Amino acid sequence: MRALILAAAAIGWAGAASAQPAPPPVEAFGRLPAISDAAISPDGSKVALAMSQGARSAIRVVDLDQHRIIYTAAVDDNSDLRGVGWADDAHISFVMSRTFLPGQVLPAYVRFVGHPHRVVYYRTGLIDLATQRPRMLTTNADDEWQDQGAALIAPIEGDPGYGRMLGRAPGMESAMPGVFKVSIASGRTQYLGQVGVNRTTLRFVLDSHGEVGARIDSDEHTNHWRVFTYDGRQPRLLLEGDSPTGAPVNIQGLLPDGRLVSLDEDENGEFFGLYAIDRANGQKQMLFQREGFEVDDAIADPWTREIVGVTWTEEERKQEFFDAALRDAYAHVGPLLENATVSLMSWSRDRRRFLVYAEIGLDGGGYYVYNANDNSIARISMRYPELAQALSGERQSITYPARDGTRIPAYLTLPDVEDRRNLPLVLLVHGGPHHIRDRLDFDFWAAFLASRGYAVLQPNFRGSGGYGASWEDRGRRQWGGLMQTDVEDGVVALIRAHMVDPARVCIVGASYGGYAALAGATLTPDRYKCAASVAGVSDLLLMLSVDGQQYGRESMTADFWRLSIGDSSADRERIRSVSPANLADRVHIPILLIHGTNDTVVPIEQSRRMRDRLQAAGKDVRYVELQGDDHYLSDATTRTQMLQELETFLAANLNAR
């Protein structure tokens, strides 16, 4: 895929595309991916799949040697399947979540003061393939709330049949993290206890033998963090420091030689790289960096959890492996899938069979199994099977000039139409806004909109993640400011290039992107023909207040949002002046508001408040609640409903050809 630089000079576009058949139905885009997660078994003979079947999720197991499905079980209608894995060759692990009213699950001694309507409860379970019976794991049968978010770690080297669970300590120490030994066969647990654990402890890092390799603490009152390593069972301070939010150094795991691995800023404090930390003296050594690009994550072996590679993003995700067998497999997979972007997802213990994710053009991505024994690859399933052969158009990486001359990176998806001049445009703004960015990878929003005849621009404005600390910091306290003008300047560049019709531009987004859409409609209403906000923020002071209540005013989360939005006291007037709910009288374009009733990230009150203010001001607003859906549009029925509403709204206002 080629990069395109948009200059101020006009660029003419004309295509030779022939007449195309009708685009895929909205349900093909709104469905949950056919496979949302997958993992290969330790012996490489089976693959576990987290699948969607219509509106329901299911776990499926495929025997690769017999080429047949050996297990399928649907997930409860009211729960969401979040991931699958393997505890050993005979037991599948899975993570589920469910949204409740606080009073349904919270014990009487827990006072819930945050988002008043919903709480999300995560649980871990196992499926015994011999009996085909699922079992939810618990560390405390008398108080299962303690298992909220508890994670299973298995297998454990030298301890067959057992795993570890990272959850909450029992009894009076329930506010502190705890490590448990769990029987894979029976589910019985034993609390192992840890010396030195305290109320500032955030988490533990375990080695391949299930022993604590590191403990990370952070004091939310002082924002001072500490990392301890263990000599036997005795903790020893290894690293400490301060950060604006109290967020500690990001420990990713351990190397095979026992050193800790951290994701940390380079010596200039600009780009994240991967570092090895000597547990004897705390000395750091650069393990991997890519000049001009951020390292995203370390790659852990699924069986030992030792760090064996790294991922980063240029335009698409890239991988590099430290292990020779993995490096060799990665090199061989690429040529087998021509023009594909590939990632190794997991592999067998002997590193002969590999689960691969790949995208080719706009096919939506698919899962494959690579066999190193004969250098062959076979497809399991596409993520969006109805779209794999049906989508056409073009997705490009571009840059455009902001008003101060800075080049803003972005992605442009163009419809497959004969004349690519004066197109209707959807300015699609990503969420976050920090630590998040758009990529060249498949995006179901952009693909859907392009299939309906719209050009789609996705800017990585200043404040977005992935472009270094300076880029991200420029967006702090710039809600309605620089972050907003950066996305608007993309519209200007496309208009000057005669690619976009200035009278047919709509700004759309979810979460922070929903805020940006409403800010566009209130701060620069003459720029747009319409605006659509999905789960967007409309009142910034209300957002700061609710998050402070839920997480604590001195918490990392509250600190993060103060750095991002501003201080609710010192910056009160500025924050009010860029809150769309306070500016409803400025709106003179149609507004679409969509919000899930189970949203625990941005409370639905944000959209209800904007609706009320717009209606009181006599403005054109359509308000839609997605019953039972969350912030992430995890339900296929309501995700499809959202796209249908958006399609109708855009067609009425932009008149796509």
* Pairing mode of beta strands 621-626, 394-401: unpaired
Cis peptide before 155 (omega within 30 of 0): yes
pLDDT at 482: 97
pLDDT at 18: 45
Yes or no: say if 461 and 427 are a contact pair by the CB < 8 Å rule.
Answer: no
Residue 186 is encoded by which pair of tokens? 């029976």
Strands, E assignment, 184-231: 189-191, 201-206, 212-219, 224-231
- Cβ-based neighbours of 178, under 8 Å, separated by 6 or more: 139, 166, 167, 168, 169, 170, 191, 192, 193, 194, 197
DSSP structure class, residue 467? S
Q: What proportions of the chain, in percent to the nearest 5, are helix, strand and coil? A: 20, 35, 40
Neighbours of 158 (CB within 10 A): 9
Q: Which of 558, 456, 553, 473 shows the shortest CA–CA distance to 513? A: 456
pLDDT at 117: 62
- Cβ-based neighbours of 557, under 8 Å, separated by 6 or more: 547, 550, 551
Yes or no: say if 277 and 283 are a contact pair by the CB < 8 Å rule.
Answer: yes
CA atoms of 205 and 252, how far apart (whole Å): 8
Secondary structure (H, E, C), 364-413: CCEEEEEECCCCEEEEEEECCCCCCCCCCCEEEEEEEECCCCCEEEEEEE
Yes or no: say if 348 and 361 are a contact pair by the CB < 8 Å rule.
Answer: no
Q: Which of 454, 420, 392 shows the shortest CA–CA distance to 653? A: 454
Residue 611 is encoded by which pair of tokens? 């609706």
Q: Which of 79, 89, 173, 159 shows the shortest CA–CA distance to 126? A: 89
Amino acid 537 reads: V
Per-residue exposure over 22-59, b if at least 16 CB sit within 10 Å of its own CB, e if not: ebbebebbbbbbbbbbbbbbbebebbbbbbbeeebbbb
Residue 137 is encoded by which pair of tokens? 């794991």
Yes or no: say if 416 and 407 are a contact pair by the CB < 8 Å rule.
Answer: no
CA atoms of 584 and 587, how far apart (whole Å): 6
- The whole-number mean pLDDT for each consecutive block of 10 residues of the chain, a chain of 657 residues, reads 33 40 88 92 96 81 93 80 93 85 53 57 89 88 70 94 89 80 93 87 93 93 93 91 89 96 90 95 94 93 96 93 96 92 96 95 93 95 88 90 97 91 96 92 94 96 94 94 97 96 97 97 95 96 80 77 88 94 96 93 94 97 93 89 97 82
Yes or no: say if 412 and 491 are a contact pair by the CB < 8 Å rule.
Answer: no
Q: Which of 366, 369, 335, 341 shows the shortest CA–CA distance to 353? A: 369
Amino acid 555 reads: S
- Strand ranges of the sheet holding 224-231, from the earlier edge strand across to the other edge: 201-206, 212-219, 224-231, 234-242
Residue 483 is encoded by which pair of tokens? 């972050």
Rounded to a whole number, what is the distance in angstroms from the first to the last CA of the chain?
26
Yes or no: say if 212 and 204 are a contact pair by the CB < 8 Å rule.
Answer: yes
Helix H segments across 291-394? Answer: 324-336
Q: Which of 67, 68, 50, 74 shows the shortest CA–CA distance to 132? A: 74
State how far the alpha carbon of 183 is from the alpha carbons of 86, 98, 163, in Å.
14, 25, 6
pLDDT at 560: 85
Yes or no: say if 535 and 511 are a contact pair by the CB < 8 Å rule.
Answer: yes
Yes or no: say if 249 and 238 are a contact pair by the CB < 8 Å rule.
Answer: no
pLDDT at 390: 79
> Taking phi first (over 0 means left), then psi (-120 to 50 degrees means alpha), and beta for anything else, what does residue 409 get?
beta
Yes or no: say if 47 and 64 are a contact pair by the CB < 8 Å rule.
Answer: yes
State how far the alpha carbon of 649 is from the alpha carbons of 340, 517, 531, 609, in Å.
35, 14, 9, 21
Q: Is the dihedral of CA 394, 397, 398, 402 positive or negative?
A: positive
CA atoms of 4 and 455, how far apart (whole Å): 15
Residue 383 is encoded by which pair of tokens? 């993520």
Yes or no: say if 578 and 259 are a contact pair by the CB < 8 Å rule.
Answer: no
Strands, E assignment, 66-117: 68-74, 80-88, 91-100
Per-residue exposure over 611-631, b if at least 16 CB sit within 10 Å of its own CB, e if not: bebbeeeebebbbbbbeebbb
CA atoms of 107 and 213, how far apart (whole Å): 33
Yes or no: say if 617 and 580 are a contact pair by the CB < 8 Å rule.
Answer: no
Residue in the structure block whose two tokens are 């006291």: 569
Residue 594 is encoded by which pair of tokens? 């969509």
